[in-house]
Structure 1
Amino acid sequence: MRSTTKRHRYATVVGILAGSVLLTAVPSAATTGGGSGVGDPYFPDDGNPGYDVSHYDVRVSYDPARPGHLDGDTTVTATATDRLDRFHLDLEGFQVGSVTVDGVPVRSVTRSGAHELVVTPAGRIAKGAKFAVRVRYSGKPVGESWHRLTNGGVSVTGEPHSATAWYPANDHPSDKATFRLTATVPDTWTVVGNGRPGPTTSPAKGSKTFRWYEDKPLATYLSTLAIDKFTVHTSKLADGTPVVNAYSPGAVIDPESEALLPEIIDFLASKFGQYPFSSAGGIVINGEADGGGDGPLALETQSRPTYSGVMFDASMVHEYAHQWFGDSVSFSDWRDGCTAECVAQYANQLWEEKGGADLDTGFYAGMVEQSEQDPGFWNVKLYDPGQGKELDPALYDKGSMMMHALRRTIGDAAFFGTLRQWQKEHRYGNATWPQFEALAKKISDRPDLTGFFGAWAHGTTVPERKYLYPGSLGRLR
């Protein structure tokens, strides 16, 4: 993703009907298992070490004629990794009507800070036990990722956070889960989400219920809810994978871009390995109401990226590269953004190369000429860039340069072998940038890459010339 929507966390005491919730164990005299947060250095309150989510069942009702209200009924299925006397959930805004654990009303629900709902179940949850938390809630969506569209619809997208604008979640990419969406809207509207479409029904006169199911683990910020009077085009890839493209009124419908998607997926699969998901397509929204525009220009919402205004080849290549790098293999924490953005941005260069571009004398030489004497271009690290810089432009620009320099350092066989092996080893899971460095050293049989990565991924100045012009790039000096 090139543009971001960030949700900044802060601490304050709020009442039971405001704030957000984060599924996390709270230490007490009777509770074993971690405190609030999994220890992400950039977002310390995110996540929880006391449980692991396996599935989200999210049910919402929304009428665009009543934009200040959403009804939600979400069940979070998880396994306790420690014994829990109480735990937290994360949900921005809303009035929480009821909470149950395995169908039993909880003993108490209180607020802690600005975004945590502290849930005390009727009885202790044993370590290793599977449990289901059902939360019923309603009210005005307030999260920064909730974007009202010009036509009256809604798109919920954002990075690093978005899910908690509409459902309770363990909001950290290290805890991925399968996802089911059931959404009821007036019958003149359409809902598009992640994964494969299920049956559409009419539960009452004047309404429709849409169903979507993502059967591969999903990081919460990659889930999406899109409601509009969409024009929907359906097709299939050569292997039968369903493709669903949805266009808001006024969005550009480009048949050539639609027709190009199978070629893009095949091309990326030739570089990275088999396409990891059971559906594909795109959601093309059109404008935000009330002078919005702070939402992402495009975001790699899993299996069906979201685009603003138009879907075109460069954006499609980038967001679809993320289906492998960022979605299938996700961050371990937010220091690891380069494992997604550096590769996805370089995928655009690979696409240009497919069209005949010489990346050495064109892309790379041009980038060096523009940036070599600019200290500001180099002063952000690609790994662990710093809090607030987790999606810094350096990951895209300097990052794509680093990927090309790495390719020229170790050769095509080792470079693409590393990318494919990365997918095999971590498919549907999480991994760190240091693990990527270790794998590149192993696949290339080049332990001396420590200096290369030190200069490019960990450095804050222009790499010395042996790393800036490695291998065949030396002829550009």
Structure 2
Amino acid sequence: MRSRFRSISPFAISAALILLGGSAIAASPGSSGLGDPYYPTDGNGGYDVDNYNLHLTYRPSTGVLSGTTTIKATAVQDLSAFNLDFALAVSAVKVNGANATFSRSGNEYTVTPASSLPGSSAFTVEVTYSDTPSSVSGTTWKKTSTVAMAVNEPHIARYWFPSSDHPRDKATYDVSIAVPDDGTTVVSNGVLQGTTIEPGGLKRWNWHSGVPAATYLTFVTIGKIAQTSTTSGGRPFITGYASDVTGSNLTNAKNSLNRTPEIINYLSTVFGPYPFEAIGGVVVKGIGFALETQTRPVYSASFFSSGTSSSVVAHENAHQWWGDSVSVDTWRNIWLNEGFASYAEWLWSEHIGNGTAQELANSTYNSHSSGSSFWQVVVAEPGAGNEFNSAIYDRGALGVHAVRVAVGDSTFFNILKTWQSERKSSTGTIEQFLALSERLSGRSLRSVFDTWLFKKGRPASPPGVSTVDAFASQAEPPSFAEIQHTHQLLAAGESR
């Protein structure tokens, strides 16, 4: 019998095989990082994450965290392999339901799916793991006698869930964690969807965040935490206080956090509409900072040890706009987070009739002599590991005030609202903020930015004060001690 394929030449067959294999040949691994100059391996190339679904169990008695995180993502190239940022021990990985191979180098996992992922296609990754986060090398997971916490920056996600760990790759979150049903509470971001009782004496807490968040802004606190839930402006207002926060410390903390709705309402008038679906806060011991975890900041109890502190509440909630809704495109742009959150303290002080922003600018400037190392930090380029130097906060706030003085209040607040509305749920750079400020003010502001952000050295006078008048008043306004208290732990070199 004669085959009907005998007329096809070997050359044609070879060409057909090349064409059929074209997509596989074109597929390549995604990069192991997004190229942030400070942290080049943070984040991962080749895909964008849409949602993280964490279905975990935590045992306080052993500190073991176990379960599965499911990642929904979209390939942005033909992918033969991709990376995940993760520091815990993995037992299995599936891609689109099929077993995938994986290897580890430090805090980086390389995953090779059974078949390549076409560009623009949606895919799912299931990572199963079990480990003790508090004992992993380099961990920023905290475990005290009363609470376990995933709270820190710039790195925390990798110590409790696999991710593309960089602010550029925002996603929505479902955080579901089962803990012993003995009064142990789980507090995370967004809205509590409910709790369920599971076999083995466990209670599962289900949290949902429907507005995209950066990985480091997703948190969990687990322990004996008294949780309160009301509503404010139609949003859940959820607070939590660890059981070892007691006495006047607890009273002061509650009185401070209870002002959260009032503070958010005020900040909405200067930054634009509040960008998220919930508000609140958590107060714990065992950390030396407060962090702007999305929808629900976490505060060290030490901020309230000597009285109420609405300034730190203003600072962390200002971050809901500056850092959370609009995040840093790379970590060198940290001024866009901390400079504006610190300046929000000054605006809040002005709003409630304490020291004005100008008085606070004068006091901050006068508190650092010309020979101080404070003036040697370049705010726009602090360097890796120096992003949370006190100068980023205080000289950063002076820089914000300098922009306000240069353009006038009407234009200044228009700039702030426009930045937020144009970049909601995205990222930005200092240069982009400069360009917007110049566009809306109709004038060059490069010299202002150079003086306060891009150059070392103490400027001749505080912004808004002439050289002649710079030292006319040395008196600190009444609220200055409270403002400085917000930063006292930073001055001791602790991260925030």
Instruction: Give the alignment's TM-score, normalised by structure 2.
Output: 0.84
Partner SS state of residue 155, structure 1: strand
1:474 Cα deviation from its structure 2 partner: 7.4
The aligned counterpart of 2:324 is 327
1:72 Cα deviation from its structure 2 partner: 2.4
> 2:312 aligned with 1:318, yes or no?
no
The aligned counterpart of 1:129 is 121
Q: Distance in 2 between matches of 1:360 and 1:243?
A: 29
1:34 Cα deviation from its structure 2 partner: 4.7
> 2:351 aligned with 1:354, yes or no?
yes
1:253 Cα deviation from its structure 2 partner: 3.1
- Alignment partner for residue 382 of structure 1, among 376, 379, 384? 379
Q: Distance in 2 between matches of 1:334 and 1:362?
A: 30
- Alignment partner for residue 221 of structure 1, among 213, 216, 221? 216
The aligned counterpart of 1:212 is 207
- Alignment partner for residue 168 of structure 1, among 157, 162, 165? 162
- Cα 1:117–1:358, aligned 2, differ >3 Å: closer, same or farther? closer
Residue identity in the other structure for 1:217:
P
- Alignment partner for residue 244 of structure 2, among 250, 253, 259? 250
Contact conserved, 1:157 with 1:296, CA < 8 A, in 2? Answer: no
Q: Distance in 1 between matches of 2:30 and 2:129?
A: 27
1:476 Cα deviation from its structure 2 partner: 4.0
Q: Distance in 1 between matches of 2:219 and 2:439?
A: 37
- Alignment partner for residue 36 of structure 2, among 16, 37, 40? 40
Residue identity in the other structure for 1:315:
V
Contact conserved, 1:408 with 1:471, CA < 8 A, in 2? Answer: no
Residue identity in the other structure for 2:292:
E
Partner SS state of residue 80, structure 2: coil
- Cα 1:135–1:354, aligned 2, differ >3 Å: closer, same or farther? same
The aligned counterpart of 1:156 is 150
Residue identity in the other structure for 1:390:
E
The aligned counterpart of 2:263 is 264
1:73 Cα deviation from its structure 2 partner: 0.4
Contact conserved, 1:360 with 1:473, CA < 8 A, in 2? Answer: no
Per-residue deviation, residues 115-173 of structure 1 (Å, max 9, x unmatched):
2211110100001111000000012212522101222x301111110011111010111
1:455 Cα deviation from its structure 2 partner: 1.3
1:59 Cα deviation from its structure 2 partner: 1.3
> 2:298 aligned with 1:302, yes or no?
no
1:360 Cα deviation from its structure 2 partner: 5.9
The aligned counterpart of 1:285 is 284
The aligned counterpart of 2:401 is 404
Q: Which has the higher contact order (CA 8 A, sep 6+)?
A: 1
Q: Distance in 2 between matches of 1:469 and 1:234?
A: 42
Per-residue deviation, residues 305-357 of structure 1 (Å, max 9, x unmatched):
01112663121111000000000000101111001100000111111111223
Q: Which structure has the highest helix share of the two?
A: 2
Q: Distance in 2 between matches of 1:275 and 1:83?
A: 38
1:470 Cα deviation from its structure 2 partner: 4.2
Q: Distance in 1 between matches of 2:357 and 2:279?
A: 32
Moved more, 377-386 or 336-345: 377-386
Partner SS state of residue 319, structure 1: helix
Partner SS state of residue 205, structure 2: strand
Residue identity in the other structure for 1:103:
G
> 2:456 aligned with 1:460, yes or no?
yes
Kindly report which structure 2 residues correspond to 1:162-201, keeping only aligned pairs within 5 A, or say none.
162-188=156-182, 189-201=184-196
Partner SS state of residue 349, structure 2: helix
1:471 Cα deviation from its structure 2 partner: 7.1
Q: Distance in 2 between matches of 1:306 and 1:317?
A: 13
Q: Which has the larger radius of gyration?
A: 2
Partner SS state of residue 396, structure 1: helix
Per-residue deviation, residues 383-413 of structure 1 (Å, max 9, x unmatched):
1211221222111011111111221111111
Where do 5+ consecutive residues of structure 2 fail to align? 1-23, 472-496
- Cα 1:414–1:93, aligned 2, differ >3 Å: closer, same or farther? same
The aligned counterpart of 2:59 is 63
Contact conserved, 1:455 with 1:464, CA < 8 A, in 2? Answer: no
Contact conserved, 2:26 with 2:78, CA < 8 A, in 1? Answer: no
Contact conserved, 2:165 with 2:216, CA < 8 A, in 1? Answer: yes
Q: Distance in 2 between matches of 1:453 and 1:129?
A: 42
Q: Distance in 1 between matches of 2:460 and 2:424?
A: 35
Q: Distance in 2 between matches of 1:155 and 1:214?
A: 18
The aligned counterpart of 1:118 is 110
1:30 Cα deviation from its structure 2 partner: 5.7
- Alignment partner for residue 424 of structure 1, among 421, 426, 439? 421
Partner SS state of residue 420, structure 1: helix
Partner SS state of residue 65, structure 1: coil
The alignment's C-alpha RMSD in Å is 1.9
Partner SS state of residue 189, structure 2: coil
Contact conserved, 1:150 with 1:286, CA < 8 A, in 2? Answer: no
The aligned counterpart of 2:19 is none
Q: Distance in 2 between matches of 1:269 and 1:215?
A: 20
Partner SS state of residue 125, structure 1: coil
> 2:72 aligned with 1:74, yes or no?
no
Q: Distance in 1 between matches of 2:196 and 2:36?
A: 41
Partner SS state of residue 259, structure 2: helix
The aligned counterpart of 2:91 is 97
Moved more, 312-321 or 32-41: 32-41
- Cα 1:306–1:336, aligned 2, differ >3 Å: closer, same or farther? same
> 2:338 aligned with 1:344, yes or no?
no
Instruction: Give the alignment's TM-score, normalised by structure 1.
Output: 0.87
Q: Distance in 2 between matches of 1:444 and 1:474?
A: 27
Q: Distance in 1 between matches of 2:30 and 2:460?
A: 44
1:296 Cα deviation from its structure 2 partner: 4.5
Where do 5+ consecutive residues of structure 1 fail to align? 1-27, 288-294
The aligned counterpart of 1:371 is 368
> 2:441 aligned with 1:444, yes or no?
yes
